[in-house]
Chain A
């Protein structure tokens, strides 16, 4: 047990010294195995993990979903989504904020990344809101929070990563995210209603559209619907596996971007290289996390930690609740992928031992990541908006987003209390 805890400590220290997380975990894992099991096995296992991770077919979902997200972001599909939502509810008070959340949810169904969703929406929705006089705080807050729907509503890169490191069925994880995703969107809209009723001058109504304009706008989103239909319909309809679905999605998104003439040779190359870089970065992390997990596997930590926690006399749901509290607090200051990769090897076995469904825990993990992404002071979505909209200060964004952080925390509580919300859809797959 001591060895493993020292290992965790060493990773934290190295990470604090600004050593890339992947290198910290890999180094500690190798040294750990070397000291507990011998240096020959340590080197051999490292080589084995590196080449097996590279050659793992199931992992090809990661580059393919990343590629799909990048093509979708270029294809301009987000604009139609936003426009359609705008024509329906834009004329109400706070209507554009609602439209933004709805468009984020729709975009989330074709893009697996929260940051990409927020970044795309900032280009599409922010200018419209600015034009009719929305406050910067409200508009950026809504975009940042809405963007997080990208990882709850399938497809989702974080669910793929969780599925891989915990060996949980990715198709079921995707299905499990649908209802929580929609629920989150609805609760965000409720929050917007409350916020805009308190100070309506921050969210003046937009123009009103006729029904024929609305139907025309609705017809414009056929591209998004088609992609959703092909990828998710294909996976659940039995035409292909999640891995192949990712390939089809990437292909479809590519064709859209091509048809929209959004792809010059330079842009295409840029998208490909960008996707490859993200993939390489993620795989370095996955490889390092596996090496470290191998080290933990040799130690007595998993058994002893379980004994310790069960000895506390807490009820199982309270234990998970405590984990979530730790995550929400850590998430305010930590980068979320780091947080999850570090803690999953520790928490996941306990959750399974307590008899909880790994799919449900996966949804909770996605939710705490969503919270972390927008909770100040360290929130990636907030930073992305700050970078893309340099005229809006971080302080303004913080001010706009905190009520929505609260909404997400409430949603987390609801998902914790009612596992059926996550597990009903995947149970239909049996």
Chain B
């Protein structure tokens, strides 16, 4: 999916401005971000303040993680519902991108669906906890 990013940038070099390359980048970005969100949650890559882990007993940490995952799942579920409805509103007002006139509504509803999927991931993690929480890489 990110390959298309390269495609857009590559074409930009050849013929300076391709109609709507900017908008395609935006749409692709939405797909990339929300498409990868379930994976981030699955691998436990969100930035977490884990300095207390060393001093807390294992049973407490297990309970703590389950609770956190439940809260995250609830939040994401709410967000999923919210984005789905927002997308539906966009469908009514008919808002499009400026140049290519691509309807935005399906993308926003897609955000909602993927947030919902991420919520499910957190729910699953309540029951199947993996000890292998990877530290976030590549960011800083």
Interface residues of A (CB under 8 A from B): 15-23, 26-27, 43, 46-47, 50-51, 54-57, 59-60, 63-64, 66-67, 69-70, 113-116, 119, 151, 157-158, 240, 244, 247-248, 250-251, 254, 272-285, 333-338, 369, 373, 378, 380, 383-384, 387
In the assembly, what is the distance between CA of A104 and CA of B98, in Å? 43
Determine which of B49, B83, B111 lies in contact with A334 in the assembled complex, contact meaning CB atoms within 8 Å.
B49
Structural contact, B135 and A67, CB atoms closer than 8 A = no
Structural contact, A280 and B40, CB atoms closer than 8 A = yes
Structural contact, A17 and B64, CB atoms closer than 8 A = yes
Determine which of B1, B27, B68, B139 lies in contact with A276 in the assembled complex, contact meaning CB atoms within 8 Å.
B1
Q: Shortest Cβ distance from B13 into chain A, in angstroms? A: 7
B58 in the interface (beta carbon within 8 A): no
- 16 sample A-B contacts, Cβ–Cβ < 8 Å, listed by A number: A15-B48, A15-B49, A18-B53, A18-B61, A23-B46, A50-B79, A54-B34, A55-B29, A57-B25, A60-B29, A115-B138, A157-B139, A251-B13, A280-B34, A281-B139, A336-B140
Structural contact, A21 and B49, CB atoms closer than 8 A = yes
How many contacting A-B pairs (Cβ < 8 A)?
A: 192
Given A277-B40, A378-B51, A22-B46 contact (CB < 8 Å): yes
Structural contact, A280 and B140, CB atoms closer than 8 A = no
Determine which of A27, A46, A275, A281 lies in contact with B136 in the assembled complex, contact meaning CB atoms within 8 Å.
A281
In the assembly, what is the distance between CA of A44 and CA of B75, in Å? 15
Beyond contacts A22-B46, A250-B5, A281-B40: 4 other A-B pairs, Cβ-Cβ < 8 A, are A17-B68, A54-B29, A251-B10, A281-B45
In the assembly, what is the distance between CA of A319 and CA of B31, in Å? 43
Structural contact, A373 and B140, CB atoms closer than 8 A = yes
Q: Shortest Cβ distance from A212 into chain B, in angstroms? A: 37
Q: Which residues of B contact A47 (CB under 8 A)?
A: 82-83, 85-86
Interface residues of B (CB under 8 A from A): 1-3, 5-6, 8-10, 12-13, 22, 25-27, 29-30, 32-37, 39-40, 43, 45-53, 61, 64-65, 67-68, 71-72, 75, 79, 82-83, 85-86, 104, 107-108, 111, 135-140
In the assembly, what is the distance between CA of A50 and CA of B108, in Å? 9
Given A21-B46, A55-B26, A113-B139, A251-B1 contact (CB < 8 Å): no
Q: Which residues of A contact B13 (CB under 8 A)?
A: 248, 251
Q: Which residues of B contact A280 (CB under 8 A)?
A: 32-37, 39-40
Q: Which residues of A contact B45 (CB under 8 A)?
A: 277-278, 281
In the assembly, what is the distance between CA of A277 and CA of B39, in Å? 7
Q: Which residues of B contact A272 (CB under 8 A)?
A: 1-3
Q: In the complex, which residue of chain B has the Cβ closest to the Cβ of A150?
A: B140
Determine which of B6, B12, B67, B68 lies in contact with A254 in the assembled complex, contact meaning CB atoms within 8 Å.
B6
Given A23-B75, A281-B136, A333-B51, A50-B111 contact (CB < 8 Å): yes
In the assembly, what is the distance between CA of A378 and CA of B47, in Å? 14
Q: Which residues of B contact A17 (CB under 8 A)?
A: 64, 67-68
A-B complex: 7 closest residue pairs judged by Cβ atoms: A247-B9, A20-B46, A280-B36, A276-B36, A54-B30, A47-B86, A15-B49
Q: In the complex, which residue of chain A has the Cβ closest to the Cβ of B45?
A: A281
Q: Shortest Cβ distance from A79 into chain B, in angstroms? A: 19
